[in-house]
Amino acid sequence: MEPVGQPGSSEQPPTGAGAQSEGNGQPPPTKKGFRFWAILVGLGITNLLGALENTVVTTSAPTIVADLEIGENYIWITNAFFVCSMIIDIIVSDLVPLRERGKYMALVLAIYGIGTTMGPFIGGILTETIGWPWVFWINLPIGGAALVVLYLFLHVNYKKEMTVSQKLRRIDYVGNGILMAATVAVLYALTYAGTVYSWSSWNVLVPLILGLFGFFLFAAFEVWGFSAEPVMPPRIFATRTSVVIAINTFINSALVYWIIYFLPVYFQSVHLFSPSYTGVALLTQSLVGIPGAAISAIALSRWGKYKPIHFSGFALSTIGMGLFSLLREGSSTAAWVLFQCVAALGAGMILNVLLPSFQAPIEEADQAAATAAWCFIRTHGQVWGVAIPATIFNNQVDRLLYRISDLDVRERLAGGGAYQYASANFVSSFDEPLRGEVIGVYREALRLVFLVGIAFAGLAFLLVFIEKEIPLRTVLETEFGLAEAKTAEKDVEKSSDNADDSGVLTT
């Protein structure tokens, strides 16, 4: 779609009807019909699928990695289900005004909460009973239900006058190609650095340098390239608030998966919990985080202020990371439950408040592009949120292997093998003092993982000071809302025009 204007760098809210709310009061409610709620439920089921698959593997991953013998390649199994939430965010952005999105996303988050709450537990149960392949077979009934609901009810407006060739010409092929190549190159380098190859090896340095250069090349092409519609229009990053929110979105997403994929390692390799009991121990994350996310989303809709939520959320995330670094094999149940509550509340508070604040300074016509760009940044953060701590974990394990007296165990844990063997069955198979030596290596490696997480969370907290509070729009202006809603609006306008022509006074 063509932009209706550019926000520039003045940090002012976009122009147009509803660009600025009247004061800070709650926006007037808009009526929603059955189709809207059916679509919202369908989106929630889709989000349930993504939530299950993103979390169900956290407790089953060590078993999957061991059975498939993929060793240091385990982080590649985490990246397949990171994109479905992007579609949900774009659809919701075209259905409700910016100021109201929080309360409707709170409903989607409630369904998402079911998936994240049950995911680790389901993964542990399936792994211990009928086998880990069923972790992935559960996609079929859930995905099928979502497909049926959305097919029946999700009918939106689109530009019917455009031909297929015209639509294809709008795609930024070069920009997408550069971005994908750069992303794969950097992720490849980060995956094998310090495990299969040393950081000084050309196998790491070449893809890393090419990938980073690719990101700069992508940015330059988006600014000065020949694409009719850049995949990430530079104008959506024209304000300092948008830039800061983009950075903090990356950091927050990384921190969430930082915890999701390495806290289970603590429970299984240090506390010696089974996969199913690890799933139970992780319930705290969802039972606190998801309600926190829903409450903050509703608060944003009610008061329209996102900066205080960002401050509180990142402060709690920073404290939570620090608390996780204190976990030991003797830590009490009360300790690890409380620590999870702090971190989960912080992450939950900012889970669904970052997107509306990113969209606030951007014109309504650019909302789809802005949402897609924001979701890519979030997805990229999720991938790095596994890759970065994995690199730290593997390298620290290699440095600490001298503490293990058994040479065979050293060889198994070296070069990225520690995650594969992060299970109570493996650690408990040894007698003391070897068992204590193995637990000590896992404990100290995880401690460094969470200490580095403090730096990332603290940086995000400091960046919030740079944000500017921009009023959120209360009126939806889009070409791509529900088809029947658009028709109704046209009927009202036609009736109004007829009344004017007949001399009836309208207000």
Q: Does residue 427 carry a pLDDT above 80? A: yes
Rounded Cα gap, residues 449 and 390, in angstroms:
8
HSE value, Cβ hemisphere, 13 Å, CA-based, for 261: 31
Contact 292, 348 (CB under 8 A): yes
Residue 131's CB is within 10 A of a number of other CB atoms, namely 13
Rounded Cα gap, residues 318 and 461, in angstroms:
8
Structure tokens at 181: 């190549």
> Among 18-32, 239-253, 463-477, 492-506, whose mean pLDDT is lowest?
492-506
18 φ/ψ sector (left φ>0, alpha ψ -120 to 50, else beta): left
HSE value, Cβ hemisphere, 13 Å, CA-based, for 104: 26
Pick the closest to residue 107 from 36, 17, 6, 189 (CA basis): 36
Torsion angles phi and psi, residue 195, rounded to 5: -115, -75
Q: What digits encode the pLDDT tens for the residues 3-15?
A: 433 444 456 556 5
CA dist 436 to 191, 268, 418, Å?
29, 14, 15
Sign of CA dihedral 111, 319, 388, 57: negative
Model confidence pTM above 0.85: no
| Res 2: pLDDT | 38
Residue with the two structure tokens 């329209």: 304
DSSP letters for 436-471: HHHHHHHHHHHHHHHHHHHHHHHHHHHHGGG----P
Q: Does residue 317 carry a pLDDT above 60? A: yes
First to last CA, the chain: 32
Instruction: Give 222 or 78, the one with higher predicted confidence.
Output: 222
Mean pLDDT, residues 348-361? 84
CA dihedral 47, 488, 158, 475 (to 10 degrees): -60
**Percent of the chain whose pLDDT exceeds 90:** 20
Pick the closest to residue 310 from 216, 247, 385 (CA basis): 247
Identity (one letter) of the amino acid at 373?
Answer: A
Contact 222, 234 (CB under 8 A): yes
| Res 75: pLDDT | 53
| Res 332: pLDDT | 92
Give the angle subtended at the CA of 286 by the CAs of 151 and 269, to the nearest 5°.
120
* pLDDT confidence band for 248 (50 / 70 / 90): very high
Rounded Cα gap, residues 414 and 407, in angstroms:
10
Contact 170, 228 (CB under 8 A): yes
The DSSP bridge partners found for residue 197 are 193
Q: Give, to the nearest 10 degrees, the angle between helix 434-463 and helix 240-269.
A: 170
Query: How far from the centroid of its chain's Cα atoms is residue 184's Cα?
Result: 18
Q: What digits encode the pLDDT tens for the residues 468-493?
A: 888 876 665 555 555 554 444 444 44
Helix or strand or coil: residue 275?
helix
Rounded Cα gap, residues 154 and 482, in angstroms:
8
Q: Does residue 413 carry a pLDDT above 60? A: yes
Mean pLDDT, residues 379-406? 86
Pick the closest to residue 487 from 17, 155, 163, 101 (CA basis): 155
Rounded Cα gap, residues 168 and 316, in angstroms:
45
* pLDDT confidence band for 505 (50 / 70 / 90): very low
Q: Give, to the nearest 10 degrees, the angle between helix 307-324 and helix 283-303.
A: 160
Q: What digits encode the pLDDT tens for the residues 16-35?
A: 444 444 444 444 555 666 77
Helix or strand or coil: residue 482?
strand
Q: Does residue 164 carry a pLDDT above 90? A: no
Q: Does residue 244 carry a pLDDT above 60? A: yes
Q: Most confidently modeled of 64-68, 462-466, 499-503? A: 462-466
